[in-house]
Structure 1
Amino acid sequence: MSNRWGIFASALLLKLLLVPSYHSTDFEVHRNWLAITHTLPVGQWYYEATSEWTLDYPPFFAWFERALASLAPLFDAQMLDLAALGYASPETVLFQRLTVMATEAVYFAGILRMLRAIRVPSQHETLLLLLAFMSPGIIFVDHIHFQYNAFMYGIQLFSVACMFEGRHILGGALFAIVLNFKHIYLYQAPAYFVYLLAGFCFTAPFKFSIVRLASLGAVVVAVFAVSFGPFAQHIPQVLSRLFPFKRGLCHAYWAPNFWALYSFADRVLLLVLGRRGGEGAAASLTRGLVGDSVFSVLPNISPMQTVLLTVTAQLPILARLWTRPTPHVFLDSLILCGFGSYLFGWHVHEKAILMVLIPMSFAAIRTSKFARVFIVTAVSGFYSLFPLLFERQELITKSVILLLYSLCAVHFVGWATRPFSLSVLERLYLAGFFALLIYTELVHSAVFGQRLAFLPLMATSVYCSLGIVYGWFGFYALALSRS
């Protein structure tokens, strides 16, 4: 017990030290949402457009912001002014940072519940708690860049724990709740659907329980009714905010997935073939702009094609889950559904890699092979978030945090899965991150100045995508081969 609270206290101290750190435009996004939900009637929340950062999360998150807004005047009431665009007084920064830390207690509790549910041996409990709770991804995205992700992952971990405990209806309800906080969890919905259908509604190979299906459906419908009920007259407007399909295939900074490799290949072929890319292609692929992604040599990609690829990537593990609906296969399916959506989805953000790495932490010490795949994927995924923290003063912070995490992960995960050894190629790949860091942070600006500004981003994205794709193949092979 003392180890648990020691980890929590150490993490809290670190995050308090990060309060003055750089914060992104997401800080203003959430400040604006505080103002919207505090100032306007419910029916206007999803119409308000004074700021470009309009409310585009599901209703439960809007109510979450409304609850936080009730406490904001204790620090600085001006942050609730709709017209105060870009407002970031020291009191406002402190308030928003502290709310992230406070709500993260749900994440901590979710990890503990998950460790109990999967029956982790006591000697490994502290290790897995460290891997999940001290995740550099959560530190980078929530406590520096600024978002509220941890508490939602906490809710999902409670959901997964319920599945291990045989409390399927509660687990389904919790997933419906987290889905109504942030709709990115739709990526993992197929795993829930197949597991609950095959492992709960089917009570025997050819025996289907209508009662169980009706009970589960009633609970999920009730959650959505509570969420969307106050917006019943405005549902088309809410949905238009949640699903803005006009964005291009790649985000402004290429998420290190399959499309990053595809985009890079298009650039290489353009040079090899001596063609001259059109202005649209250049703008969409090498200037970091959000919009339609236009390729110069390779075929352009449509949203439907990404859907088909994503479904295809998920089918093998979902088929295994259908035939073996056990909690452990469900966890593998959750990881791989998130993985497939991250690799092949439309307009994926780099931060979505957390949907893979957080549940994957609980599979890291199954065997030495799983450990190797986890370490390569984790280092690649967490490093891929470095461009989010692009100011010079954050260089040491992000580098030290990832280095310490990586060294500890290799040491302790290796100890837990003895005999453990990274392959020569894995070691060389991980060592390559030092060269990548030196180039992107020091050499590029010294050699090119302000020219070729997208090149460091491209190098980071492509290099990290190699490790992440390796992790996908490796984890898939291990998951499908498990008895």
Structure 2
Amino acid sequence: MQGKLQIFVIVLFVVLLRWCVSYHPHSGQGTPPMFGDYEAQRHWQEITLNLPIEKWYINTTDNNLMYWGLDYPPLTAYHSLLLGYIANLTDTSFVRLHASRGVETSAHKYFMRFTVLVSDLLIYIPAIIYFFVNLEFFKNDYKKANLFNFGKKELLILAALIYPGLILIDHGHFQYNCVSLGLFVGAVGAIFQNAILLASFLFTLALNYKQMELYHALPFFFYILGRYKPGKNKSIMHSIGTLFLVSSIVILTFLILWLPFLYDWKVLKSVILRLFPLARGVFEDKVANIWCSINIIFKLKLAFTNLRLAQICLITTLIAVLPTCLSLYLKPTKEKFLISLINTSLSFFLFSYQVHEKSILLVAIPALLHFPNDPLPCFWLLLISDFSMLPLFIKDHLYLAYLSTLIFYYFSISWMFHNELFPCEISTEHKDRITKSNADVSIKSRTKPKLEKIQKGSKKNKGSAPLQKYKSQTLKLILFTISMLGALTLSIASISVKPPEKYPDLFPLLISVYSCAHFSLFYLYFNYKQIFSNKKSVIKFKIK
């Protein structure tokens, strides 16, 4: 009962935090004629409500695709249709065809903000709670209660739900990422519970809400394929039967969602072209990936056609994801699955075609889930992911919200998980072990001189392992501090220092390159952790 009360308090707090952010400006506020993502979401409600379904993705006089044409999969369109019905019942001026363009009344802002909050409450927040409530910890210190009598599970839930990146994009900038990401988190939780069919269904829904969930598709595919390949404990018939059921769930879900678009090839082709627009180029705004960084020196758009760039991106991305996918297939453990979600999403973000700065959320959410296993690197990645979107936040007049939520997040996580993030000294147990090992070496070296070198080397390695681990952690902390100081400097300079007239995009470019360098190193680090590290997870899942 007490645990439920604590979770209820957490939900109330994170809802309040989201509502406070929603009072800040949104994307494109007061900037006609195109406005921004806020208007795009409203316009999709208008289109799906007033036009027949076969016209949703086709350019017509009533649906000018150059004005925020629908470019997400069918489940997003159905969600927009549902919200369009509610908007029409609330106030017909919100979704009146053509006449509602650019509506920004106070009533409409409250309505739109409320729809995001409800979506968050119904999907993403329960998914995060579901994931962490079902965790168990191998280490005793993860069972302690602290901070207002919150246990580690409650603290992890709170830490995940106050991550500022998603809050600022959905409740500030304005989008519904909480829907697809919530379905994704639910699918990961189902994988950990060995509910493979439920996981397949939920992830298929996520993929049909936003095509960027392809970033996470390969780990699901290779984990299920590797887990259910014929082996010692699995007969061929059992493996084939399970994979057949999984395939059936995926295909059936796709068919149901895409059924209205399958009757006419022209309509189906229009949907596919809208989902994967080659004409936009390899990137638009400054984004913290490899191609944007390379473009500073070598102008990619001038040297290659869009089609050739798309081919280069495809090949490079496949090469980048190959190590993590092979590792997962050969050893499909839940720990490797979780890390592989970070690795593949980083690969797609760094190397794939037409990446938006907001896509870093697809990297951040798996890092939130992996946080208990590797706190400092995940925390570091989460902070940089939020920082990498700073140019977008400045553009949307969300700088104050960005700075305040980031500072709050940094100090809150540092306080709640101080011992896990910043170990100050070697434990007494490790000190005693080192002292005892050195004493043993000293005694045996006098009594058995012939074995001195072998024993000394053996004992030294065994005794110094905690010391080496401490030194490694200290180095991480030094690099982390330098990294954060750099991010803080760029955050302040971006708003207080006027760039040279010759380089008006200097600070967005510096932020993208600085963040890209971090993401590249995180890609190497987490791939190493997945492929070479034998360290066991500190968490497991309760199987019901």
- TM-score, length-scaled by structure 1: 0.88
Aligned equivalent of 2:514: 463
Distance 1:71 1:403 in 2: 37
Report the count of equivalent residues.
Answer: 449
Conserved 8 A contact 2:375-2:420? no
2:274 to 211, 216, 241: 241
Conserved 8 A contact 1:168-1:200? no
Conserved 8 A contact 2:327-2:530? no
RMSD of equivalent CA atoms: 2.2
Distance 1:441 1:417 in 2: 30
Deviation for aligned residue 1:189: 1.1
Aligned equivalent of 1:91: 107
1:351 to 339, 355, 358: 358
Cα pair distance change 1:205/1:258, threshold 3 Å: farther
Matches within 5 A, 1:79-478: 79-83=94-98, 84-105=100-121, 106-120=123-137, 121-122=142-143, 123-202=151-230, 204=232, 207-208=235-236, 209-232=239-262, 233=264, 234-252=267-285, 254-266=286-298, 281=299, 293-294=301-302, 302-366=309-373, 370-390=374-394, 394-416=398-420, 419=423, 421=474, 422-444=476-498, 448=500, 452-478=503-529
Distance 2:173 2:533 in 1: 38
Aligned equivalent of 2:88: 73
Distance 1:47 1:307 in 2: 27
Residue identity matched to 1:133: L
Deviation for aligned residue 1:414: 3.3
Deviation for aligned residue 1:192: 1.1
Deviation for aligned residue 1:436: 0.8
Conserved 8 A contact 2:342-2:526? no
Conserved 8 A contact 1:46-1:56? yes
Cα pair distance change 1:393/1:34, threshold 3 Å: closer
2:50 to 32, 39, 52: 39
Is 2:19 the counterpart of 1:16? yes
Distance 2:206 2:414 in 1: 32
Secondary structure of the equivalent of 1:346?
coil
Conserved 8 A contact 1:264-1:462? no
Distance 1:18 1:372 in 2: 26
Aligned equivalent of 1:64: 79
Deviation for aligned residue 1:393: 5.1
Distance 1:301 1:405 in 2: 42
Is 2:31 the counterpart of 1:3? no
Conserved 8 A contact 2:376-2:420? no
Distance 1:482 1:417 in 2: 19
Greater CA drift, 196-205 or 54-63: 196-205
Cα pair distance change 1:229/1:17, threshold 3 Å: same
Residue identity matched to 1:60: L
Distance 1:312 1:112 in 2: 35
Residue identity matched to 1:293: K
Residue identity matched to 2:64: T
Deviation for aligned residue 1:218: 1.1
Conserved 8 A contact 1:255-1:348? yes
Residue identity matched to 1:440: S
Gaps of 5+ in 2: 28-35, 144-150, 424-472, 535-544
Deviation for aligned residue 1:201: 4.7
Greater CA drift, 392-401 or 175-184: 392-401
> What do the CA deviations read for 1:335-358 (whole angstroms, capped 9, x no partner)?
211111011111111111111111
Greater CA drift, 416-425 or 81-90: 416-425
Deviation for aligned residue 1:129: 1.2
Conserved 8 A contact 1:260-1:465? no
Distance 1:405 1:418 in 2: 16
Aligned equivalent of 1:270: none
Distance 1:480 1:117 in 2: 26
> What do the CA deviations read for 1:428-473 (whole angstroms, capped 9, x no partner)?
121112221222111125xx4x653211211111122222222222
Deviation for aligned residue 1:245: 1.1
Conserved 8 A contact 2:180-2:207? no
> What do the CA deviations read for 1:315-364 (whole angstroms, capped 9, x no partner)?
11111111111222111111211111011111111111111111111222
Distance 2:397 2:348 in 1: 33
Conserved 8 A contact 2:57-2:71? yes
Deviation for aligned residue 1:480: 2.1
Cα pair distance change 1:454/1:226, threshold 3 Å: same
Conserved 8 A contact 1:46-1:241? yes
- TM-score, length-scaled by structure 2: 0.78
Distance 1:89 1:55 in 2: 23
Identity percentage over the alignment? 26
Distance 1:38 1:8 in 2: 32
Gaps of 5+ in 1: 267-280, 282-291
